Amino acid sequence: MNEEGNQAGKGLVRGISLFQATAINMSQMVGIGPFITIPLILSAMGGPQAIFGWIAGAILAMADGLVWSELGAAMPGEGGSYVYLREAFQYRSGKIMPFLFVWSTLIATPLIMSTGMIGMANYLSFFWPGMTALDTKLAAVAITIITVALLYRRINSVGRITTVLWAGMILTVLIMIVAGATHFNPHLAFAFPSNAFLPSKFLLGLGGGMLISIYDYMGYYTICYMGDEVKNPGKTIPKSVILSIIAVGIIDIFMNLGVIGVVPWKIAMNSQNIGTLFMQDVWGKPGAAIITLLILWTAFASVYTGLLGASRLPYNAAADGLFFRSFGKLHEKYNFPHISLLVMGLITAICCFFNLSQIINALMAVAIVVQFMGQVAALTVLRKRQPHLHRPFRQWLYPIPSIIAFVGWAYVLYSSGWSAIELAIGWTALGVIAFLIWASREKQWPFGEKMIHEPYLTEQENAGSQF
């Protein structure tokens, strides 16, 4: 969508600046993640060597971030991966790849969002020690309702709210890092077990550690889902992706070191509310109360930006004729995909009532195969199929980052476990069946003529013809 159309109020509005875009990414990346996964990664790797899991996750995130940066800058459309997969794979397999992407994320994203809602509800137990399991679920649903209500507005207002939430997130991590640095005990932080670096044990643990750490880095691409709402997307999108990965990588590594430099890792790995435990050891109960409130603030920023980006996915698919038409409607007054947002919010609220850890792992496996590994391939395909496409940002040292990303995602997929992979295969198979039913009804490939559309090349040619 061009700048003029945006300004004329005929569609989505380009109102997100570089600062806001970076804040959106970072808020989604930090969230509740480190405050629930530090114990998990310590357990997966068996000690303080977990720091290498964070570093490996950062390397994978940066390599993959360079894939997103090139694609997002060249094709800044609403829906991110949906657009890239649609453009790259239309030449041989029609619309099956973008269909499978929407199929997986429509459920996977609310499931992941629900873990943030439940994580916040668990931290509320500090102030409400008598919370029952039902109370926790109802609190998570209430947080979901509040999140949707705050997102139900113009993108300009959403950008301002995101900036405020981002500021609270930065304050939270700064307090954690400063508290860890001022009370840091290197003997605790580097108390490696005797077999920590035994190759067979270390490499096996590294896979599990990367699986957890990359979950915490997830979100560096959130702004790509909102390409039609970004100012100067050719420069803003790649800068925001790269800056957010660097910033959050530093935050996560220092937070991890700070925590295990105060709380012995054997105790930390068994804690459910590690942030509260850490701060209670440093500044006592008042400090624990303050950090718990700030963790809740930070976690809310994550689910807020997560639902913001996710609500654009089915909207773009519907607008492209590849999903239920009602999802393609914009709010008459505020110009945002309100039906998509409400449906995503409803699914998230329902998910808060279930124990979904195994299902989330399986759907994450689907996302790796269809979205992340597929997207790496998409970049190479598009360089060959659309060599004249204007690319404001080109992947540095291509194709090395693409190779690192592809191999890294394959390693993480393998580390997710065969049960998750098997469930992912089953879900993907159902998606293929659903696609064939849809394609048969709509007379699309393979039941109709394969239609090739190259909107970004066409827009580029039209823009050139005006001068």
Query: Residue 433 maps to which CATH number?
Result: 1.20.1740.10
| Percentage, residues of the chain above pLDDT 70 | 94
Range of the domain at 145: 16-460
The stretch 394-400 carries a mean pLDDT of: 97
What sign does the CA torsion over 67, 72, 77, 78 have? positive
Exposure string (b/e) for 363-384, b if CB count within 10 Å is 16 or more? Answer: bbbbbbbbbbbbbbbbbebbbe
Q: Contact, 20 vs 162, CB < 8 A?
A: yes
Judge whether 6 lies within some domain: no
92 inside domain: yes
Q: Which residues pair with 27 in a beta bridge?
A: none
Residue of higher predicted confidence among 311 and 376:
376
Average pLDDT over the chain reads 87
The pLDDT, as a whole number, for residue 181 is 93
Q: Alpha-carbon distance 444 to 453, whole Å?
A: 14
Q: Is residue 376 one of the residues assigned to a domain?
A: yes
Q: Summarize the confidence of residues 164-184 as an average pLDDT.
A: 90
The verdict on residue 10 lying in a domain is no
The torsion of the CA quartet 303, 308, 312, 313, rounded to 10 degrees, works out to: -10
State yes or no: pLDDT of 82 exceeds 60: yes
Can you give the pLDDT at residue 356? 53
Give the pLDDT band of residue 463 (cuts 50, 70, 90). Answer: low
Work out how many domains the chain is built from and give that number: 1
Cβ neighbour number for residue 397 with a 10 Å cutoff: 10
C-alpha 59/C-alpha 56 separation (Å) is: 5
In a domain, 5, yes or no: no
Q: What is the pLDDT of residue 24?
A: 87
Please tell me whether the peptide bond between 286 and the residue prior to it is cis, using omega within 30 degrees of 0.
no
**Residue 312 CB coordination number (10 Å):** 27
Find the mean pLDDT for residues 248-255: 92
Q: Which residues pair with 400 in a beta bridge?
A: none
Which range (95-109, 158-172, 224-238) has the least confidence? 158-172
Q: Across residues 108-136, what is the average pLDDT? A: 86
Measured CA to CA in angstroms, residue 458 lies from 89, 97, 371, 378, 418 at distances of 18, 22, 25, 19, 44
Non-local (6+) Cβ contacts of 109 within 8 A are: 306, 310, 313, 344
Task: Scan for tokens 């909102």, then name that residue.
Answer: 226
Decide if 466 is inside a domain. Answer: no
Position 466 pLDDT exceeds 80: no
**Lowest pLDDT segment from 6-15, 20-29, 220-229:** 6-15
Q: What is the pLDDT of residue 131?
A: 87
Verdict on whether the full-model pTM lies above 0.95: no
Per-residue pLDDT, averaged over 97-107, amounts to 85
Q: Has residue 221 got a pLDDT over 90?
A: yes
Q: What is the pLDDT of residue 5?
A: 41
| Predicted pLDDT of residue 80 | 87
**Residue at 50 is within a domain:** yes
Q: pLDDT digit string (tens) for 130-169?
A: 888 899 899 999 999 999 998 887 766 666 777 787 888 8
Does residue 8 fall inside a structural domain? no
**pLDDT band with cut points at 50, 70 and 90 for residue 118:** confident
| pLDDT value of position 32 | 77
Taking 90 as the threshold, does the pLDDT of residue 246 lie above it?
yes
Q: Are 307 and 111 in contact (CB under 8 A)?
A: no
CA angle 438, 351, 373 (to 5 degrees): 55
Q: Supply the pLDDT for residue 238.
A: 98
Q: Please report, for residues 32, 48, 248, the alpha-carbon distance to residue 37 in angstroms, rounded to integers and kept in the order given.
A: 9, 14, 15
Which two three-digit tokens encode residue 56?
């490996």
